[in-house]
Structure 1
Amino acid sequence: MDFGFSVATYIVLVLSILYILIILKKWNKDNVKTFPPGPWALPFIGNLHIMDLKKPHCTYIELAKKYGPVFSVQLGTRKIVVLAGYEAVKDALVNNAEEFGGRGKTRILQDMDNDFGVVHSRGENWKVMRRFTLTTLRDFGMGKSSIEEKIIEECSYVIKSFESLKGKPFDNTMMINAAVANIIVSVLLGHRMDYKDLQFKRLITLMHENVRLLGSSMVGIYNIFPFLGFLPGNHKTIRRNAQEIFEFVTKTFIKYLKNLDESDQRSFIDAFLVKQKEEAGNPHSYFHNENLTRLVRNLFSAGMETTSTTLRWGMLLMIKYPAIQEKVQQEISKVVGLAQPTYSHQGQMPYTKAVIHEIQRFADILPLSVPHETTRDVTFRGYFIPKETYIIPLLSSVLWDKTQFEKPDQFYPNHFLDSHGNFIKKDAFMPFSAGRRACAGENLARMELFIFFASLLQKFTFRLPPGFSDSDLMSDVGFTNMPKQQNICAIPRF
């Protein structure tokens, strides 16, 4: 009897459990809000074991093939949602701009900016600083002829530097970084800086090094496991570099404050200091020194790194594809001749414009974008994504989307030309991201790229040094996809 009762009990228990599981499964299917799918996570480390920490976008692209355009990964204990492909990224950043418009929290970036400035801030601070930044940049010539004059002037300096080398091999990293940096420096400080100025060279070196180190494996580990911050590594170098930059900015604006003329504002820093004085009695003002130092660093870095990196890729790609370089030069000669190329010429130069766009697409400068965050609970494409979820809009997958570009894995300027050779816009062209968090300096960057690129190709033909047969198009490790440092030759055309 006891044995029979036990068997019956077990049968009832098993049937009860099965019944409960069926009910739970049905309830989950009908009612539970489903988080995006992803690979199975291990305790403590999550999916860290499958990640390429030096080039995580490569891992995400492979995972998208298996899990679709909206999927999740777990790094440490943090759940991350990745958006892949043009349709998903556009849907999130443009069609659901408010919900996906937050800024993702990354430990090393928080260490540097402490949620101040404009690039990595959030909430009301971000709104106030972005509004002030856009307004002030416009006041100081953004998108106007005055800023174009500064770009043209800077072109003359970098051309002279290239000419002085008389076709000999050189690494163009510092020259191009300095030339592009001087455009935003002239806005921030009210004047350009000499390429040989030791402080200027030091600032450029610090900025460039930080962008490179942000993509290192140790920094990736530190972002996932901040408690390991006591260990030596690149995260400490980044913090030291950032502190040195802040000290320079602080000394600069203290000097400007002593000579501040509210009726004659000559720089971005002047405009901020005037606003700071106006709100001196407001304990809740966002115009304080921490925001100023972070704003200047944000603008200096953003205003230099992506544009200069694009130009460096452009020179390497012209070396790699000499027929394309020659065709660009022919168009410049036909439209501009020996005159100075200006931004207004781009409408008459569809091929050159297409080549610049293809350089941006193919080089894929910012593959992961800057991380986003959901500002509220959102149901997106059938998945429930909670508020404050870390979001990665995978820009690589947009710029290399096979449904949007005919030959995404090739350098192919015809992506931006119709059958008659006219320039055509592509909605999937998102090197500046999209939506609320799109790059604030996009218009300036477009102007810089065209004028610098056309001016340099007008004056020089770019080639490899003697003894080298091919340029290296493998990107270096960094927060951006930057070309490896390598020597090139700028051969004067006239």
Structure 2
Amino acid sequence: MELNVTVTLFLVAFISWLLVAVAKRKGASKGKLPPGPTPLPLIGNFLQIKSSETFKSLIKGYGVVFANGDRWKQQRRFSLTILRNFGMGKKSIEQRIQEEAQFLLEEFQKTSEKPFDPLFFLSRAVSNVICSIVFGDRFDYEDKEFLALMKIMNDSFREMSTAWAQFYDIYASFLKYFPGPHTKIYDLLEDMRLFVAKRVKKNQETLDLNSPRDFIDCFLIQMEKEKDNPASEFNVKNLELTTLNLFFAGTETVSSTLRYGFLLLMKYPEVQAKVHEEIDRVIGQARVPNIEDRNQMPYMDAVIHEVQRVSDLIPMGVPHAVTCDTEFRGYVIPKGTEVYPMLSTVLHDPTKFKNPNSFNPENFLDASGRFKKNEAFMPFSAGKRICLGEALARMELFLFFTTILQRFRLKPLVAPRDIDLAPQESGFANIPPLYKLSVVPR
């Protein structure tokens, strides 16, 4: 009897609290905040999106990707300048990608047409391109530390998108005091930060202020220049986390897109056949593909765009806080509110793409077969917070895809109709499913 009374009192108190919370929300938001979902009994706003607490616990607003305000401005401006100085969008980085693509071809050749998982083949190749900028050199594919780092990076990218990660993001204020699978992401990210910290220390010990070797050196030199400026954001914390941002994003985004691309080309062999025909007609087999070939290869360009659109790698984009009270369409978004660009809704907009949930390169071709831009294509986000590595990523995708398909045919282990495109995990990112394939020399 007492138990029933206790339960009844709890339910009355809970429902009363819920009604008060709803009333306050409606009163506070009327005419100001944009409309949003009303909290549900027991689970509250569990189905709403919250920022990734796993990032916050490690990054704490430092770096370039998740920073806001003046810190973001300083870090982005500097990072973009250094990336360009080290060749982003220029011939020098194109040659670096071409060189890495040849190393990858050698690894593919060693498989002798036997089935293999492309995950670490692709992540090592892509990672070496950004490594040459941030660390000043590439890693050997058999380097044990490099292989371990690739596994940590892949695991963390996947863990960020698991159900546990989403659950932790909702109840972080409570769960952070308890052990469990939700702590795994922090440990993985911290391992990567420690790797970067070790590289920073190594650079500090051998730094030549007049001869920077890589991104880390350039940052250390800037730190020295601004050591007496109290408003400077050039410190070791920002160095470690900006480097980690570039290293992580420069590896996982492109390599995951390549993995999804391989899967789509195997599921749609007629598309792969058209790509092979265009490569043979424009480039042939006698020379290495270069970025200038893209202008003569509208079909390949369309395929890559469609791979990016369909894979929808970062569906919600990266959250950023508004820096002041912002009026938008009659509403007021308060300073500090985190805003998600929801890239997935644009990439699958039925008014911009015919059959938006299907893979169709024709979305980026006109009636004459020429490449056609589409304003709804924004996998790199848009505006001032657009991905600062967009130019590098676009160059990598074209050169890696074209170089591989010039030399090999991608062969699935099952019938094309049986290839499952469903992501391994879907949360912060859409993680490509695990699969194996064979590469057959052409």
Q: TM-score, normalised by structure 2?
A: 0.89
Q: Choose the corresponding residue for 1:306, options 253, 271, 274.
A: 253
2:266·2:416 contact (CA, 8 Å) conserved in 1? no
Query: What amino acid does structure 2 have at the position aligned with 1:471?
Result: I
1:39 corresponds to 2:37: yes
2:161·2:430 contact (CA, 8 Å) conserved in 1? no
1:464·1:470 contact (CA, 8 Å) conserved in 2? no
1:444 deviation in Å? Answer: 0.3
Structure 2 residue aligned with 1:370: 318
Query: What amino acid does structure 1 have at the position aligned with 2:437?
Result: I
Structure 1 residue aligned with 2:208: 261
Structure 2 residue aligned with 1:490: 439
Q: Choose the corresponding residue for 1:135, options 81, 91, 107.
A: 81
Structure 2 residue aligned with 1:220: 166
Q: Choose the corresponding residue for 1:441, options 389, 402, 413.
A: 389
Cα distance in 2, alignment partners of residues 400 and 242 from structure 1: 31
Instruction: Give the secondary structure class of the aligned counterpart of 2:340.
Output: strand
1:86-113 alpha-carbon deviations (Å, 9 max, x no partner): xxxxxxxxxxxxxxxxxxx532111121
Instruction: Give the secondary structure class of the aligned counterpart of 2:227.
Output: coil
1:252 corresponds to 2:218: no
Structure 2 residue aligned with 1:186: 132
1:188·1:268 contact (CA, 8 Å) conserved in 2? yes
Instruction: Give the secondary structure class of the aligned counterpart of 2:248.
Output: helix
1:283-304 alpha-carbon deviations (Å, 9 max, x no partner): 4432211111101110011101
1:364-423 alpha-carbon deviations (Å, 9 max, x no partner): 111110113222223323333322222222111100100111121111101000000000
2:268·2:416 contact (CA, 8 Å) conserved in 1? no
Structure 1 residue aligned with 2:374: 426
Structure 2 residue aligned with 1:210: 156
Structure 2 residue aligned with 1:289: 236
Structure 1 residue aligned with 2:281: 334
1:120-144 alpha-carbon deviations (Å, 9 max, x no partner): 1112111111111000111111111
1:26-46 alpha-carbon deviations (Å, 9 max, x no partner): xx9xx9524333333136742
Query: What amino acid does structure 2 have at the position aligned with 1:397?
Result: T
Query: What amino acid does structure 1 have at the position aligned with 2:370?
Result: N
1:468 deviation in Å? Answer: 8.2
Query: What amino acid does structure 2 have at the position aligned with 1:323?
Result: E
1:218·1:233 contact (CA, 8 Å) conserved in 2? no
Map of 1:138-217 to 2, 5 A cutoff? 138-217=84-163
Q: What is the CA RMSD across the aligned residues, in angstroms?
A: 1.8
1:177-215 alpha-carbon deviations (Å, 9 max, x no partner): 110010000001111101111111111111111111111
Map of 1:23-172 to 2, 5 A cutoff? 32-42=30-40, 45-48=43-46, 51=47, 73=48, 106-172=52-118
Structure 2 residue aligned with 1:355: 303
2:66·2:320 contact (CA, 8 Å) conserved in 1? no
Cα distance in 2, alignment partners of residues 461 and 246 from structure 1: 38
Aligned residues: 412
1:185·1:191 contact (CA, 8 Å) conserved in 2? yes
Cα distance in 2, alignment partners of residues 309 and 473 from structure 1: 13
Cα distance in 2, alignment partners of residues 388 and 467 from structure 1: 50
Structure 1 residue aligned with 2:221: 274
Cα distance in 2, alignment partners of residues 359 and 262 from structure 1: 43
Cα distance in 2, alignment partners of residues 294 and 138 from structure 1: 19
Moved more, 34-43 or 291-300: 34-43
Structure 2 residue aligned with 1:451: 399
1:157 deviation in Å? Answer: 0.6
Cα distance in 2, alignment partners of residues 429 and 293 from structure 1: 32
Query: What amino acid does structure 2 have at the position aligned with 1:335?
Result: V
Task: Structure 1 unaligned segments of length 5 or more: list them.
Answer: 1-27, 52-72, 81-104
2:101·2:400 contact (CA, 8 Å) conserved in 1? yes
2:116·2:436 contact (CA, 8 Å) conserved in 1? yes
Instruction: Give the secondary structure class of the aligned counterpart of 2:418.
Output: coil
Structure 1 residue aligned with 2:330: 382
2:219·2:239 contact (CA, 8 Å) conserved in 1? yes
Query: What amino acid does structure 2 have at the position aligned with 1:165?
Result: T
Q: Choose the corresponding residue for 1:229, options 163, 168, 176.
A: 176
2:301·2:398 contact (CA, 8 Å) conserved in 1? yes
Cα distance in 1, alignment partners of residues 35 and 217 from structure 2: 50
2:68·2:323 contact (CA, 8 Å) conserved in 1? no
Structure 2 residue aligned with 1:411: 359
Cα distance in 2, alignment partners of residues 327 and 467 from structure 1: 19
1:319 corresponds to 2:266: yes
Structure 2 residue aligned with 1:345: 293
Q: TM-score, normalised by structure 1?
A: 0.80
- Relative to structure 1, the CA distance from residue 280 to residue 37 in structure 2 (aligned partners, 3 Å threshold; closer, same or farther) is closer
1:209-229 alpha-carbon deviations (Å, 9 max, x no partner): 111111122222222222211
- Relative to structure 1, the CA distance from residue 468 to residue 399 in structure 2 (aligned partners, 3 Å threshold; closer, same or farther) is closer
1:139-167 alpha-carbon deviations (Å, 9 max, x no partner): 11111100001100000011110010011
1:171·1:485 contact (CA, 8 Å) conserved in 2? yes
2:291·2:395 contact (CA, 8 Å) conserved in 1? yes
Moved more, 344-353 or 218-227: 218-227
Structure 1 residue aligned with 2:12: none
1:118·1:295 contact (CA, 8 Å) conserved in 2? yes
2:66·2:319 contact (CA, 8 Å) conserved in 1? no
Bigger Cα Rg: 1
Cα distance in 2, alignment partners of residues 274 and 36 from structure 1: 45
1:19-78 alpha-carbon deviations (Å, 9 max, x no partner): xxxxxxxxx9xx952433333313674232xx3xxxxxxxxxxxxxxxxxxxxx5x6xxx
Query: What amino acid does structure 1 have at the position aligned with 2:69?
Result: G
Cα distance in 1, alignment partners of residues 390 and 335 from structure 2: 29
Cα distance in 2, alignment partners of residues 461 and 109 from structure 1: 39
- Relative to structure 1, the CA distance from residue 32 to residue 111 in structure 2 (aligned partners, 3 Å threshold; closer, same or farther) is closer
Cα distance in 2, alignment partners of residues 286 and 175 from structure 1: 36
Query: What amino acid does structure 2 have at the position aligned with 1:192?
Result: R
1:310·1:360 contact (CA, 8 Å) conserved in 2? yes
1:369·1:395 contact (CA, 8 Å) conserved in 2? yes
